Structure 1
Amino acid sequence: MSVFVSEELRLGSKLENLGVFDTLLDMDSNYFINIKRLKVTEVPEFSRSYDKINKYFGDIGTLLKSSNNKEDKLFRTAIKKFNFPEVRGINLGFSKGKYGAGFGKTLKEQIMKDAYDIINSGSEQPEIFHLTSLFEENVGPDRLSDMIASLIYDDIVVYTKKICVTLDINKEKYPHIEFENGLMINPYKKCELLFLPVDLLHELPIAKDWDDIDRVCSENEAIKSEINELVGEKWKKITVSQKKYYMKEFIFKNPTILQKVISNYKATAVNQYDINKNVDYLIEKIIHIILKESNVVPESHKDSYDSTLEILDGYKHWVENQKGYSVLEGVSSKNAEKIVQRTLHGLANYYCDSNGLDISPESNTGRGPVDFKISRGTDKTVIEIKLTSNGQILHGFEVQIEEYAVSEGAENKIFLIVDNGVHSERIQQVEASYQRRESLNENPAQIIIIDAKPKASASNF
């Protein structure tokens, strides 16, 4: 299970209260530094960061503008200057291990060659480099975030040291942790730990090659206008690679059009992002909260069925009595079911590890996936989860879980209903089906109901 800084250092909600991003120590979180947020941030340590970035890009642009060809000394100097090693300590991006992507030699040279062509076509604005991902292969917001982090590294260090002083994160308080030059060394990645304000972050698009180019283009009115005029409906049919080539050749190398694009880009504001909208990060947070607050006590002698009941009882207690229901408020049905499945799995995984049980989320042996299977050898229990907002809830009870049980060779079946306040009347339909099937000795799945409807504040009574 992943480890948050706040847990490792026993900080509770102190980071959150200071507006500091509570990063994972052992893997990267899917966020990136948004350069547009740097332009408007009120965090004092980053007040000059945006201008610093643009000056740096402006200097590279000057070198390329002064260069006579793509082989001379000025051009090679520009390539050397376009050097942005990954800042591992911020723990952002797609990487699930210790190392991220960064910029390689070949990619740097290609970007410089394209920037040379663009600048020498008549455009010199430093914002060209902000938009590299629109025209360059293998460049997305994760690499741009690395580039930005490298350029403002000194500002990040100053901010991190301020947070460390504020929260007493030092060798005296944490003697088991290594420190170097006033910075904590991440015990999992063996590199310095750097803090960032939530104010600067945005969600990383879920596409490793950043296929999200269509959305970006549609949001920039100047780009959208040119695409509609020159390409029209064909745009939808061409590949991402072809789209980036088109952007480079017909928009970025046309100074008149590019001026409109950059003006539109400058005028566009990016509001502060709510990091809890990132479902993966939210789920990871919730799992840790549940494990701290759940009343599940491992009992190794229990079989898979009784163990499952104990797990679900702990989860039910957290949802109904410890405001666990609040994490589903305002969440789409699809994401809500995902949150329930994965947070419950996090709790169950901890329990099973402590009891010598096996847990298989979305196990599939031929008839479709069951949400969970908890087992010890031939002793198996299958669990199917449905929210009341799911129109397939009755089908799930009468058909799905029965097929899953046959497929898994399991006699024990539990059907978990989470009442999120949408179509709660469906519970009665499932219960009526249970009564009818039980009277016919059909051995229906045991029903457990969790009330996840928003609760009124005690002050309202």
Structure 2
Amino acid sequence: MATFFSDAFRLEKSVVDEYGAFDVSIINDLPLFIDPFLLFHSEKQEYRDLHESIIEYLIFLRDRAADSHVSDGMLRNWYCFPEVKQNWFGFSMVGNGGSGLGMDFAGSLHENLNFIFANFGEESITESSHLEKVCLVSSGVGRDNISDFVTNLIQDFLCTYTESFAKAHLREDQTREVWIDRAVFNFKTQSWQRKRYELPWYEGDYIILTPKDMLTRDDTWINTSDLINRFQDIPTAIPDGSLRASVSNYFERELRARKKKGRHPTKGKRAKAATETIRQFPELIDYYIKLKEDTGDDATDLSFEKVFATELFFSKRLREVLQPVLAGTDFYRVKPGTYEESHIRLAYLKHVIEDMGGWRIFYDENGKAVEREKDVQILYRLVWFGTPSDAGTEANDGRGPVDFKISRGREKTLVEMKLAKNTKLEMNLKKQTDIYQASSDAQRAIKAIVYFSYSQLTRVQRILKRLGLEDSKDIVLIDARKDNKPSGSKAS
């Protein structure tokens, strides 16, 4: 039952933990990524050196950006990278594949370095330059782009880090010699060079380990949403009174131009006015980054908590709660059709969660429910292995994505994993599955709904009654309430 790296290589999880690496899932990407700010703020010199190498590369790109004759080929060479899927992090709901960095990312970064941030690397307000800076004004550049870019730029470190672990803890037959095409950048030749590593090898591909203390979840410490939300704090950090007055005046003008007469400006209007003001005064970004640098300890603490919570939810609890129970059943051995198999796996999962303590996987150490739909979907994906069926997720056959498409040859079954608190649940139940089913040419469709309180249950029941679905066997309700689990004596 190899679900995680330590399982696959027959190691105690503590061995990976003591090395400082995250014990990744080898079934599905987990929603973590590298935050470059954690490299900058680290007490480890090797991390700070990595951050400096990222800035050095961006300064190289800045110098090239001034050339109006840069070809598409050079843009692809300097900016476009594949996703490093072998680290098993990201936002993919299907295995560990992702789109990587394409020409849209290249164009945005190249333009920002050429026009808005032509002084990148020469800032006087902040302690350092930051990659996130050139992504703050581009709506098409997000956390996944930054993570992919950083992961590629420090791939040599990650591979060497993994190689050292492999030499210390793995047998020779568990590793393989691997050539990485874009491992090290040669500034003299202005090109990427190959390098060879001895890396863990599992089921036809290598695996890269990542230190926990450079990982975070949800967003980078320096990010666009935070910049907009904290916009009102930025002018107070500007020592130049004239600039401060100009910024405030421009923002108020933008706000008046957007708000309706006699009404207070909406949050969206304020965000748009702030965005336009930042474009007009890009130096505001340096003052914002300075605020983030000054509170860097908070970034380290918050990221540690987020990574620990992710590890607890997907790794420790899955091992402690689900795997031991499911291993003693036919859960991983059933081989009926996709519709029957989907129902059997949901029935087992429901039984484990409701009757055998599995509900604990949805609660943190303080007893608070973790109610995120993506988490539930990833958890479901992690128990879809040991099957001849293809359990694809987020399949988009023309009319929008569906959570899971279980297929085997020409036979297909759709499965949607939803939370009872989803505000669009009724609309989803009424229309979405029928649309997806027709679009995917699937034979059947199943809805699984997880609820965490009595009020959520009654809401779902009312919706099902209105839609005439209260007796449908293709609607599976899963009770994840912690306060409705009788003890063994009471249950009997």
The 3-state SS of whatever aligns with 2:136 is helix
Identify the residue that residue 216 of structure 1 maps to in structure 2.
Answer: 227
Gaps of at least 5 residues in structure 1 are 371-379, 425-449, 453-461
Identify the residue that residue 420 of structure 1 maps to in structure 2.
Answer: 482
Mapped to 2, the partners of 1:120 and 1:306 lie a distance apart of 56
Mapped to 2, the partners of 1:117 and 1:381 lie a distance apart of 53
- Gap change, CA 1:243 and 1:296, over 3 Å in 2: farther
AA at the equivalent of 1:183: E
1:381-392 matches, within 5 Å, as 385=449, 387=451, 389-392=453-456
Identify the residue that residue 158 of structure 2 maps to in structure 1.
Answer: 156
- Gap change, CA 1:341 and 1:284, over 3 Å in 2: same
Identify the residue that residue 434 of structure 1 maps to in structure 2.
Answer: none
Identify the residue that residue 275 of structure 1 maps to in structure 2.
Answer: 307
Identify the residue that residue 214 of structure 2 maps to in structure 1.
Answer: 200
Identify the residue that residue 250 of structure 2 maps to in structure 1.
Answer: 230
Mapped to 2, the partners of 1:346 and 1:7 lie a distance apart of 13
Displacement of 1:335: 0.6
Q: Deviations over 1:128-177 (max 9, x none)?
A: 54411212353223222333334433332332222222322x5x2327x6
- Gap change, CA 1:2 and 1:360, over 3 Å in 2: farther
Displacement of 1:113: 1.1
Mapped to 1, the partners of 2:26 and 2:287 lie a distance apart of 42
- Gap change, CA 1:419 and 1:237, over 3 Å in 2: closer
Q: For the Cα contact (< 8 Å) 2:28–2:378, is it kept in 1?
A: no
- Gap change, CA 1:132 and 1:278, over 3 Å in 2: farther
Mapped to 1, the partners of 2:111 and 2:453 lie a distance apart of 50
Whether 1:145 aligns to 2:161 is no
1:216-365 matches, within 5 Å, as 216-219=227-230, 223=234, 230-232=250-252, 233=255, 236-237=267-268, 246-252=277-283, 257=284, 260-269=287-296, 270-272=299-301, 273=303, 274-275=306-307, 277=309, 282-283=313-314, 290-291=322-323, 293-294=325-326, 295-297=328-330, 312=347, 315-317=350-352, 325-329=360-364, 330=366, 333=369, 335=371, 343=379, 347=383, 360-362=414-416
Q: Deviations over 1:242-272 (max 9, x none)?
A: 86554233133xxxx5553343232121124
Gaps of at least 5 residues in structure 2 are 180-195, 237-243, 259-264, 391-407, 418-427, 435-443, 488-492
- Gap change, CA 1:410 and 1:22, over 3 Å in 2: same
Percentage of pairs with the same residue = 14
Displacement of 1:391: 1.0
Equivalent pairs, count:
396
Mapped to 2, the partners of 1:306 and 1:52 lie a distance apart of 50
Mapped to 1, the partners of 2:157 and 2:278 lie a distance apart of 33
Displacement of 1:52: 3.6
Q: For the Cα contact (< 8 Å) 2:117–2:134, is it kept in 1?
A: no
1:21-36 matches, within 5 Å, as 21-25=22-26, 28-36=29-37
Identify the residue that residue 446 of structure 1 maps to in structure 2.
Answer: none
Mapped to 2, the partners of 1:310 and 1:26 lie a distance apart of 17
Q: For the Cα contact (< 8 Å) 2:80–2:101, is it kept in 1?
A: no
Mapped to 1, the partners of 2:76 and 2:100 lie a distance apart of 21
Whether 1:6 aligns to 2:32 is no
Mapped to 1, the partners of 2:153 and 2:66 lie a distance apart of 24
Q: For the Cα contact (< 8 Å) 1:21–1:198, is it kept in 2?
A: yes
Mapped to 2, the partners of 1:401 and 1:351 lie a distance apart of 35
Q: For the Cα contact (< 8 Å) 2:174–2:201, is it kept in 1?
A: no
Q: For the Cα contact (< 8 Å) 1:54–1:127, is it kept in 2?
A: yes
Identify the residue that residue 133 of structure 1 maps to in structure 2.
Answer: 135
Query: What is the TM-score normalised by the length of structure 2?
Result: 0.59
Identify the residue that residue 394 of structure 1 maps to in structure 2.
Answer: 458
Q: Deviations over 1:344-377 (max 9, x none)?
A: 68658878969x998643496737879xxxxxxx
- Gap change, CA 1:310 and 1:72, over 3 Å in 2: closer
Q: For the Cα contact (< 8 Å) 1:333–1:389, is it kept in 2?
A: no
Displacement of 1:213: 2.4
1:174-189 matches, within 5 Å, as 174=174, 179-180=178-179, 181-184=196-199
Q: For the Cα contact (< 8 Å) 1:386–1:396, is it kept in 2?
A: no
Displacement of 1:394: 3.3
Deviates further, 154-163 or 314-323: 314-323
The 3-state SS of whatever aligns with 1:419 is coil
